[in-house]
Structure 1
Amino acid sequence: MAVAQKKVTQATIDGHARNILRTMFKFGVFDRQAYPNDLSRIDRTASETAARRIEEAGITLLKNDGALPLKAPKSIALIGRAAQAGPSGFGSARVVPFTSVSAQDGIAHRAGSGTKITFNNGDNRGDAANAARNADVAIVFATDSQGEFFDKSCLTLQCGEPLRGDQDGLISEVAKANPNTIVVLNTGGPVLTPWAGQVKGIVEAWYPGQEAGNALARVLYGDVDPGGRLPVTFPVSENDAPASGNPAQYPGVNKTVTFSEGVMVGYRHYDAKGIKPQFPFGHGLSYTTFSYSGLKASTKSVQVTVTNTGDRTGIAVPQLYIGMPSPGVDVPQPPKQLKGYGKVTLAPGQSTTVTFPLSARSFAYWNEEAKAWKVADGCYRVMVGSSSRQIAQTGTLGTCR
């Protein structure tokens, strides 16, 4: 009907169909027999192991004032409904597994019979504070709500999940009652953390999947190193966010949104404006420490040596950023752009060389007049570190003065 009404051409439809079929051919869908619709043939053990490892690799330790890993506490108070539930997004993000492990079950299993585990849903702050006060460690679970086809109206936890009430206030109340308070965030993106200075630890566990409890417990107890790093920036204030205060950008004027930010999106906005974030892009702590040395840079690759300087095995995620020269006042460039990253597991004292491959495209900008990618003359600053704000090694390429 759309073709008949000339709202779309047959060529456009064929093009979209071709994209789908190309992917199917690439992955061999037409070169094998169709998989039988028989759930009993699924290797659930392998699926559970994969789900746990993926979540362990994504859990991001945002803050740790010595509270983690847990040192066999005799009692733990779990506070917040998410300790007994499996937080997830909705729409296409809502996936119901065959089985799931809650945080409470995973922590209780890992802690063993020698640790008393209590639960409080957090609906009453006074009751939650009492539960925290009577435990060696309090772990507060806070969630937001995200899914398809809607925007969050603000970045506070209360706004993100209004049915849970004032979770920021709950966290502050629990932290007053127990100095050993850890916050586990189950969110789909950045949220404000006004209580960050009141708690000993903050763990971003995202929407954790079917093995949520086991993965979280293994990270909290230090059986594995937290492997995640932030793919987004956590701002101090909503006013710091890229589209804040600009209704033309968001939510739009007269049903029209203007994308005027150019290349200054995400962490680039914070860098260009000199805004200090709460937790920067690329951030994520390990239970050990690392040093970076021996930077070598060329137009083909950048190399750096990463050394585990701590006393336990851990995961490092070295990140390569390049600060590119601006070819003109009408083509501004951000202070730095992510051009590569690696992920290595190192034993105490172990070193390894991480290589970031580069090409001409790594140094290019979009030339609107030429309708092509071009490389500008000038000085290129090379930066390697553990996050966009923790740069450990620097160098230069090109013509620098």
Structure 2
Amino acid sequence: MQLTRTRAAAAARTLALALSVGACAAAGAAPPERPWMNTALPADARAQLLEQALTPDERLALLHSPMATEFDGTPRPPGSLGSAGYVAGVARLGLPALNETDASLGVTNPDNVRPGDTATALPSGLALAASWNPQLARASGAAIGREAHAKGFNVLLAGGANLARDPRGGRNFEYLGEDPWLAGVMAGTSIAGIQSAHVVSTVKHFALNPYETGRDHYSANIDAAALRESDLLAFELAIERGQPGAVMCAYNKVNGAHACENDYLLGDVLKRDWAYPGWVMSDWGAVHSTAAARVLDHESGEQLDTQVFFGEPLKQAVAASAIAPQRISDMVRRILRSMFAAGLFDHPPAPAKVDYPAHAGLARQVAAEGIVLLRNERATLPLSRQVRRVAVIGGNASLGVLSGGGSSQVTPTGEAPLTIALGGNTVLDTLFRRATWFASPPLQAIRARAPGAEVVFDDGRYPARAAELARGADVAIVFGTQWCGEAEDVPDLSLPQGQDALVAAVTAANPRTVVVLETGNPVDMPWLAASAAVLQAWYPGQEGGEAIADVLFGVVTPSGRLPMTFPRSVRQLPRPALPGPGQASSDAAFDIAFNEGADVGYRWFARTGEQPLYPFGFGLSYTTFAHSGLQVRGGRTLTVSLDVANTGSVAGADVPQVYLSAVGNQPMRRLIGWDKVALAPGEHRRVSIEVDPRLLARFDPRANRWQLAAGDYRVMVGTSASDASLEGTARLAAMTIKP
């Protein structure tokens, strides 16, 4: 009888356990041996459970990682796919490896480490920013997130949020312009799109990294309030909107301390004030000491550092009580927390069919929306499909469209691109200094749009010959290109290799000359007055030729607006001469004083009274728009409402922009809001914009707070930072805002 009762009790317990396990499974729980797999638990709790199950050596292994390429002669780590970085997992605990790849413009394949692997090559970050379309930023982020996930990657080194402080910056093309609100919103929505595919995105390069020349050696020196109101504000906004799993710190110093071991940036601002819960990874080769572990969580690209600081030296530092064991746990938990939050455990990367044609269409849309019509005399554009003779000149327009160089370089889907090695003096030069044209030739696309026309081509090597060809054409389209790349800035704003002379010769020969610019930055335009039309196409991605032709022939009405000011001369810039020794290979330390502070770009021009060539926010259309009915309401913040109407004859999209122009009697210029409104001819719509109060406030470093002063706040609404077609004022109450 006792045996029977025992068996009955055991059976009851077994049944109860089975029911309990079933109930837990239904609630998303995991078996008891892996409680961190319970999806009903928050990411922080799951991270804590898993961290506690790791051995000390397993914890340490998560804190440093190598590059997963073979450029330096070392074999790839076992299990890696071949990419920028790899962190091994822990199989016994179900902890997946981290396969990390660049990044914002598409999934890269550095040095063809994965033979034949291609991906959608999106237009440059400046092209995306020029669209002023956050929905497009999210869609493009989601597309590259899906591609990364399908290829087996779970970390994208994306999310460039550095402000473009100088139009000669070699990496400006990856970023999102000169304004913190525009850059922060666009970066944040792109990051959110990436992470919707269960891929961790970074935000980078934290912080104040606008120059590439000497990036390992300069100290970016700036007032604390100005830093908060400019570059740090862009990052703060991007982090709030995108919730990136990781922050990548920069190569440079900020106010004398390396960015990747900067207590103020990583400790005070990021982790304390912003309560950032994810992990901070270094840029590749940006760690200089084991002491960086005070605030840095992961050493990336360890082969590029002088030693693996977060390996054995970190273990010894813990043993010597120089680094607390609790800090190691915090570093690990931050990594695990982001992995859980982004779904890396619950939705691991898996081979999947990618809709590359749809993604190509998205790349084409970004390129077309990002093209900025700068000039259109005598309604030269759009071109008629009945045009009889078209001369297409220069820019390798018969081959494709230019892209920027460096770690963001994508190997595009479709036809193989043309790559030309530019040479250099270092191993990094051989990897990065390559000019690549994506196989989307504008010449071919132009011929397709005007099938009845004679479309003739000249490569532009000899300006006199090109001018002769242009002279006999109904319209000439001359392409100007400027290659920019990582690790070096451009020395001036000219079109390189004598292209300005070519454009001048063609515009002189034919008054109906359209100039198309494929550049990574603003450029000088000494030939501007002689041109009929100018299109700024940036680096337009793998469908760029089609997008350019779409805009030239009016298939798409241009709606791009400049995300950067185009100066008339470098003499107008805060630093007319590029800072530093002037040689990318120099290892001499130097300081850069950012005396413009928070007055970046258009704000600098407003402060100095200088007139740019083209202002921030500028862009023309094939239709016309009218703004009316401005209403500005105050209280705790500003709410700005207005009517936008398409007064022209074709459909198009307007970008009404709202700027703070004065507080009391103090003039200023800050973008505080915008909307992008697509309208049919005769259609009108009322838009309303509620302003983030931080854009109206000043940062007080002593109080460590945003201070919004009571008073009258004047706004202007227009089509650029220099346009004030509507003005209004409202009163705000004083307010203090936490950082």
Common fold by TM > 0.5: yes
Structure 1 segments unaligned to the other structure (5+ residues): 159-164, 328-332
Residue of structure 2 aligned with 1:181, choices 504, 513, 516: 513
Q: Which moved more, 1:61-70 or 1:355-364?
A: 355-364
- Structure 2 residue identity aligned to 1:88: S
Question: Is the radius of gyration larger for structure 1 or structure 2?
Answer: 2
Which residue pairs with 1:54 in the alignment? 366
The answer to whether residue 403 in structure 2 is matched with residue 91 in structure 1 is: no
Which residue pairs with 2:602 in the alignment? 267
The answer to whether residue 437 in structure 2 is matched with residue 108 in structure 1 is: no
What is the CA–CA distance in structure 2 between the aligned matches of 1:27 and 1:78, rounded to whole Å? 48
- Structure 1 residue identity aligned to 2:695: S
The TM-score normalised by the length of structure 2 is: 0.49
What is the CA–CA distance in structure 2 between the aligned matches of 1:151 and 1:5, rounded to whole Å? 28
**Superposition pairs for residues 2-401 of structure 1, below 5 Å?**
6-9=290-293, 12-13=296-297, 24-36=339-351, 41-65=353-377, 66-72=379-385, 73-83=387-397, 84-99=399-414, 100-112=439-451, 114-158=452-496, 165-244=497-576, 255-298=590-633, 299-325=637-663, 335-398=668-731
Q: Which moved more, 1:54-63 or 1:237-246?
A: 237-246
Measured against aligned partners, the alpha-carbon deviations of 1:259-290 in whole angstroms (never above 9, x if no partner) come to 22111111100111111111100001110111
**What is the CA RMSD across the aligned residues, in angstroms?**
2.8
The TM-score normalised by the length of structure 1 is: 0.89
What is the CA–CA distance in structure 2 between the aligned matches of 1:220 and 1:20, rounded to whole Å? 48
- Structure 2 residue identity aligned to 1:59: I
SS in 2 for 1:311: coil
What is the CA–CA distance in structure 2 between the aligned matches of 1:27 and 1:390, rounded to whole Å? 42
Q: Is the 8 A contact 1:249 1:259 kept in 2?
A: no
Q: Which moved more, 1:333-342 or 1:306-315?
A: 333-342
Shift in Å at residue 106 of structure 1?
1.2
The answer to which structure has the higher helix fraction is 2
What is the CA–CA distance in structure 2 between the aligned matches of 1:67 and 1:203, rounded to whole Å? 12
What is the CA–CA distance in structure 2 between the aligned matches of 1:373 and 1:250, rounded to whole Å? 38
Q: Is the 8 A contact 2:574 2:595 kept in 1?
A: no
Shift in Å at residue 368 of structure 1?
2.0
What is the CA–CA distance in structure 1 between the aligned matches of 2:725 and 2:546, rounded to whole Å? 34
Shift in Å at residue 23 of structure 1?
5.1
Shift in Å at residue 250 of structure 1?
9.6
Shift in Å at residue 224 of structure 1?
1.1
What is the CA–CA distance in structure 2 between the aligned matches of 1:304 and 1:216, rounded to whole Å? 32
- Structure 2 residue identity aligned to 1:143: T
Measured against aligned partners, the alpha-carbon deviations of 1:337-370 in whole angstroms (never above 9, x if no partner) come to 0011111111111110111112432321111221
Structure 2 segments unaligned to the other structure (5+ residues): 1-63, 65-285, 299-329, 415-438, 733-739
What is the CA–CA distance in structure 1 between the aligned matches of 2:331 and 2:619, rounded to whole Å? 39
Shift in Å at residue 17 of structure 1?
6.7
Q: Which moved more, 1:25-34 or 1:310-319?
A: 25-34
Q: Is the 8 A contact 2:367 2:547 kept in 1?
A: yes
Shift in Å at residue 216 of structure 1?
0.9
What is the CA–CA distance in structure 2 between the aligned matches of 1:3 and 1:196, rounded to whole Å? 46
Q: Is the 8 A contact 1:63 1:203 kept in 2?
A: yes
What is the CA–CA distance in structure 1 between the aligned matches of 2:412 and 2:693, rounded to whole Å? 44
What is the CA–CA distance in structure 2 between the aligned matches of 1:42 and 1:129, rounded to whole Å? 45
What is the CA–CA distance in structure 1 between the aligned matches of 2:456 and 2:704, rounded to whole Å? 62
Shift in Å at residue 32 of structure 1?
1.0
Shift in Å at residue 242 of structure 1?
2.7
- Cα gap change, 1:35 to 1:376, in 2 (>3 Å): same
Shift in Å at residue 301 of structure 1?
1.4
- Structure 2 residue identity aligned to 1:105: Q
What is the CA–CA distance in structure 2 between the aligned matches of 1:313 and 1:4, rounded to whole Å? 55
What is the CA–CA distance in structure 1 between the aligned matches of 2:393 and 2:479, rounded to whole Å? 6
What is the CA–CA distance in structure 1 between the aligned matches of 2:673 and 2:606, rounded to whole Å? 18
What is the CA–CA distance in structure 2 between the aligned matches of 1:136 and 1:67, rounded to whole Å? 11
- Cα gap change, 1:22 to 1:356, in 2 (>3 Å): farther
Q: Is the 8 A contact 1:325 1:377 kept in 2?
A: no
What is the CA–CA distance in structure 2 between the aligned matches of 1:4 and 1:217, rounded to whole Å? 49
- Structure 2 residue identity aligned to 1:271: A
- Cα gap change, 1:358 to 1:121, in 2 (>3 Å): same
What is the CA–CA distance in structure 1 between the aligned matches of 2:334 and 2:373, rounded to whole Å? 39
What is the CA–CA distance in structure 2 between the aligned matches of 1:270 and 1:301, rounded to whole Å? 26
Shift in Å at residue 27 of structure 1?
3.7
Q: Which moved more, 1:236-245 or 1:262-271?
A: 236-245
Q: Which moved more, 1:377-386 or 1:166-175?
A: 377-386
- Cα gap change, 1:118 to 1:94, in 2 (>3 Å): same
Q: Which moved more, 1:390-399 or 1:306-315?
A: 390-399
Shift in Å at residue 396 of structure 1?
0.9
- Structure 2 residue identity aligned to 1:7: A
What is the CA–CA distance in structure 1 between the aligned matches of 2:531 and 2:288, rounded to whole Å? 62
Which residue pairs with 1:162 in the alignment? none
Aligned pairs, number: 385
SS in 2 for 1:391: coil
What is the CA–CA distance in structure 2 between the aligned matches of 1:195 and 1:21, rounded to whole Å? 56
Measured against aligned partners, the alpha-carbon deviations of 1:287-337 in whole angstroms (never above 9, x if no partner) come to 01111111111234111111111111111001111124389xxxxx76210
- Cα gap change, 1:19 to 1:308, in 2 (>3 Å): farther
SS in 1 for 2:502: helix
Shift in Å at residue 249 of structure 1?
12
- Structure 2 residue identity aligned to 1:230: L
What is the CA–CA distance in structure 1 between the aligned matches of 2:505 and 2:490, rounded to whole Å? 25
What is the CA–CA distance in structure 1 between the aligned matches of 2:713 and 2:642, rounded to whole Å? 17
Shift in Å at residue 111 of structure 1?
1.4
Shift in Å at residue 28 of structure 1?
2.8
SS in 1 for 2:443: helix
- Cα gap change, 1:341 to 1:27, in 2 (>3 Å): farther
What is the CA–CA distance in structure 1 between the aligned matches of 2:715 and 2:288, rounded to whole Å? 55
**Identical columns (%):** 41
